[in-house]
Amino acid sequence: LTSYYYRPTYPDLQVEERGKFTQASYQSGTIYEWNIDGMNEYHIINKLQEMTMVSNAHKIRNNSDKAVANILIAGFTGQIKGWWDNVL
For residue 74, what pLDDT is reported?
Answer: 92
Say what the pLDDT of residue 12 is: 66
Q: Which residues, listed in sequence order, are joined to residue 34 by a DSSP beta bridge?
A: 76
Task: Write down the pTM of the prediction.
Answer: 0.66
Name the 3-class secondary structure at 44: helix
State how far the Cα of 45 lies from the Cα of 53, in Å rounded to an integer.
13
**pLDDT tens over the chain, length 88 residues:** 556 666 666 666 666 665 555 667 777 778 888 888 988 888 889 889 989 989 998 999 999 999 999 999 999 998 889 888 888 6
The CB-side HSE value for 34 (13 A sphere, CA atoms) comes to 27
